[in-house]
Amino acid sequence: MRTLLLYLLLVSVLLVTACSDALVRVKPYERGYFAQEKMLFSPLPASAEFEEHIFAVRESSQGGSVSFQGGCGCR
Amino acid sequence: MKRVFIAAGLFLAVLFVSAWAETLENKISVSVHGYGDDADEEIFSGKIDVFRIFRERLGFGVSLGIDAISGATKTASADAVSGATVVAAPGDDDDEGGDGDDDGSDYNARVYPSFRLVYDDGDNNVMGGAYFSFEDDYTGRAVFLNYTRQLNLQNTSLSAGITQSFDKWDVGGLDDDDRKERQVSLSVTQLLGRRTQIQAGYDLLHSEGHLGNPNRYIDFAVGGRVLERLPSDRDGYALSARLVQLLAEPTTVHLSYRYYDDDWGINSHTTNVALFQDLSETFTLGGRYRYYTQGAADFIKPVGQYAATDPLIGIDYKYTDFDAHTVGLMAIYKPGSGLESPGGGSGWGNTTITFSVDAYQTSSNDYIRAWYGQSRLTAYFASLGLEYKY
């Protein structure tokens, strides 16, 4: 729980301080590449959701997913 | 300088973002999926999702998914995990004492509707909703809430989310038929340049209740039938990172890594690499390789070493140490790319069709041998999706 609070605190601090100009790396008019499907973290969202479900059933690890996975008896 | 230090510290410490933030776009998605493995387990699945903007900055989405899941797995051989009689699984009761043959024709249905409400003003995105899952012997109910904040001219995004489930087994004979799971996710995404973005996150996970599968049991020669016995709670965390980089137009590389650790003693490493390349203005082809490796839970014993009096009995191979490899092909087809829709509205230009097919194989494992009668598990799964923005 302390770890969770620490991270929440860090996030809050970052939100308040609004980061730094050093993190402004790309201007709005320079983002053309990011509009492409293949530049998304999950270019095939339907496939990603299904395969994460398969991995959740077949493997013991959780977290780090790109979508919310609800409970089911198969896990 | 101080602010830079704080940002850098967070960036190192808080790994991975949930990508749950959803942009406000009217759209309909339909997808179908299939899974099959050499243990005769099959899943056929379909899902439809509709999202609509109903007020400025507000949208509402509903989805409905249906799975048809086969009766799962075969009866294992005698003297398997228990050193006693039989390890069994759902759908095997009718065959108990029989020839161990399961033709896989016993399908169970799972229906899982969900809804979500999304607020987005460009800098702040809030998504909340609920999820339900109904099966013969299991009911899942969950609520989720996620907040994403855009910073630095949208070069940086921070996200915090929580999900809490209140699931319930509908199986007789359990001391505790509840199962609750909670996941808290913190994440950050940063554009590193015009061709590169990274995402990192941290997930805290907690589960409690009946965490084992009541359909898995061992018939001991002394002690009778014993259900899988797992600890009644589990705490873990996952650290993960992703990178997407345009190597050179038109090729993109995706890299991801996840480390997972929990208080059952299981830890794992997951790496994934994928390449996407535009073959034409409308068609993108991709390939991927995923490697997964995990250690065993502390309570796992070698096959044949369990006794009915053991306080913890793990039957599923996924609590043992094993590796798994996945290779796959992906395709994205945008039939209207480069075409102008009349009036700039609907048309093929707003349609995306995706397809993927993967092969999955575990390493050789004694539990798989005991459970399925083969040294490793091989599976194939595929997805076909269509999204239309209207």
In the predicted structure, residue B269 carries a pLDDT above the cut 70: yes
Structural domain including B328 reads 6-389
- pLDDT class of B126 with cuts at 50, 70, 90: very high
- pLDDT class of B341 with cuts at 50, 70, 90: low
The CATH number of whichever domain residue B362 belongs to comes to 2.40.160
Nearest by CB to residue B186, choosing from A7, A27, A50, is A7
| Cα(B262)–Cα(B238) distance, integer angstroms | 9
How distant is the Cα of B311 from the closest Cα of chain A, in angstroms?
A: 20
What per-residue confidence (pLDDT) applies to A66?
62
**Residue B185 within a domain:** yes
CB B46: neighbour CB atoms within 10 A? 15
Cβ of B9 within 8 Å of Cβ of A10? The answer is yes
**Residue B165 within a domain:** yes
Measured in Å, how far apart are chain B's first and last C-alpha atoms? 46
Q: Is B182 on the interface with A (CB under 8 A)?
A: no
In the predicted structure, residue B181 carries a pLDDT above the cut 70: yes
Output DSSP code: residue B231. -
Distance of CA B142 to the CA centre of its chain: 15
Q: Which amino acid is at B156?
A: T
What per-residue confidence (pLDDT) applies to B71?
62
**Residue B1 within a domain:** no
Interface A-B, measured as beta-carbon pairs within 8 A, has a size of 242
B385 → chain A, closest CA residue = A46
Cβ of A58 within 8 Å of Cβ of B381? The answer is no
Peptide bond connecting B250 to the previous residue in cis, omega within 30 degrees of 0: yes
Residues with Cβ within 8 Å of residue B316, at least 6 apart in sequence: B213, B216, B228, B367, B371
Chain B interface disruption, residue of A51, A66, A69, most B CBs within 10 A: A51
In the predicted structure, residue B16 carries a pLDDT above the cut 60: no
Residue, of A40 and B221, whose pLDDT is higher: A40
Q: Encoding tokens for residue B230?
A: 């797992």
Cβ of B158 within 8 Å of Cβ of A43? The answer is no
- pLDDT class of B95 with cuts at 50, 70, 90: very low
Lowest mean pLDDT among B70-74, B88-92, B115-119, B160-164: B88-92
How distant is the Cα of A15 from the closest Cα of chain B, in angstroms?
A: 8
Question: Could you tell me whether strands B107-120 and B124-134 are parallel, antiparallel, or unpaired per DSSP bridges?
Answer: antiparallel
Report which of B142, B73, B69 is spatially closest to residue B110, judged by C-alpha positions: B69
What digits encode the pLDDT tens for the residues A33-47? 888 889 999 999 989
Q: Do B71 and B106 meet the contact criterion of CB atoms below 8 Å apart?
A: yes
- pLDDT class of B383 with cuts at 50, 70, 90: very high
Q: Do B162 and B147 meet the contact criterion of CB atoms below 8 Å apart?
A: no
- pLDDT class of B101 with cuts at 50, 70, 90: very low
Question: Could you tell me whether strands B107-120 and B86-88 are parallel, antiparallel, or unpaired per DSSP bridges?
Answer: unpaired
What per-residue confidence (pLDDT) applies to A15?
59
- pLDDT class of B336 with cuts at 50, 70, 90: confident
Q: Is A2 on the interface with B (CB under 8 A)?
A: no
What digits encode the pLDDT tens for the residues B316-332? 999 999 999 999 999 99
In the predicted structure, residue A31 carries a pLDDT above the cut 90: no
Q: What is the DSSP string of B260-301?
A: EEETTS-EEEEEEEEEEEESSSSEEEEEEEEEEEEPPPTT--
| Cα(B120)–Cα(B56) distance, integer angstroms | 9
Q: Do B70 and B40 meet the contact criterion of CB atoms below 8 Å apart?
A: yes
How distant is the Cα of B219 from the closest Cα of chain A, in angstroms?
A: 21
Residue, of B5 and B318, whose pLDDT is higher: B318
Residue B389, strand partner residues = B27
In the predicted structure, residue A59 carries a pLDDT above the cut 80: yes
Cβ of B381 within 8 Å of Cβ of A10? The answer is no
Nearest by CB to residue B195, choosing from A13, A33, A51, is A33
Q: Which residues of B135-146 are buried (b: 16+ CB within 10 A; e: fewer)?
A: bebbbbbbebeb
| Cα(B217)–Cα(B227) distance, integer angstroms | 4
- pLDDT class of A12 with cuts at 50, 70, 90: low
Report ipTM (2 d.p.). Answer: 0.86
Q: Considering the entire predicted model, what is its pTM? A: 0.86
Lowest mean pLDDT among B124-128, B329-333, B339-343, B376-380: B339-343
State the average pLDDT over residues B224-231: 88
What per-residue confidence (pLDDT) applies to B98?
38
What digits encode the pLDDT tens for the residues B41-66? 899 999 999 999 999 999 999 999 99
Q: Do B17 and B157 meet the contact criterion of CB atoms below 8 Å apart?
A: yes
What per-residue confidence (pLDDT) applies to B261?
97
CB A1: neighbour CB atoms within 10 A? 6
| Cα(B207)–Cα(B167) distance, integer angstroms | 11
Report which of B17, B3, B1 is spatially closest to residue B241, judged by C-alpha positions: B17
Across chain B, what does the average pLDDT equal? 84
| Cα(B253)–Cα(A28) distance, integer angstroms | 23
What per-residue confidence (pLDDT) applies to B39?
87
Vertex B390: Cα angle to B333 and B57 (nearest 5) = 120
What digits encode the pLDDT tens for the residues B275-327? 999 999 999 999 999 999 999 999 999 988 898 999 999 989 999 999 999 99
| Cα(B235)–Cα(B221) distance, integer angstroms | 34
Report which of B196, B180, B174, B213 is spatially closest to residue B247, judged by C-alpha positions: B196
Domain count, chain B: 1
State the average pLDDT over residues B358-381: 94
pLDDT over 70 percentage in chain B = 83
In the predicted structure, residue B170 carries a pLDDT above the cut 70: yes
B297 → chain A, closest CA residue = A60
Q: Encoding tokens for residue B323?
A: 């590796």
Q: Do B91 and B101 meet the contact criterion of CB atoms below 8 Å apart?
A: no
Beta strand residue intervals within chain B, DSSP E:
27-37, 42-55, 58-70, 86-88, 107-120, 124-134, 138-151, 156-169, 178-193, 196-209, 217-220, 224-227, 233-248, 251-262, 267-278, 283-294, 322-333, 351-362, 378-389
Q: What is the DSSP string of B308-376?
A: TT-S-B--SGGGS-EEEEEEEEEEEE-TTTTPPPGGGSSSGGGEEEEEEEEEEEEPP-HHHHHHHSSSS
Output DSSP code: residue B217. E
Lowest mean pLDDT among B188-202, B331-345, B348-362: B331-345
How distant is the Cα of A32 from the closest Cα of chain B, in angstroms?
A: 8
**Residue B279 within a domain:** yes
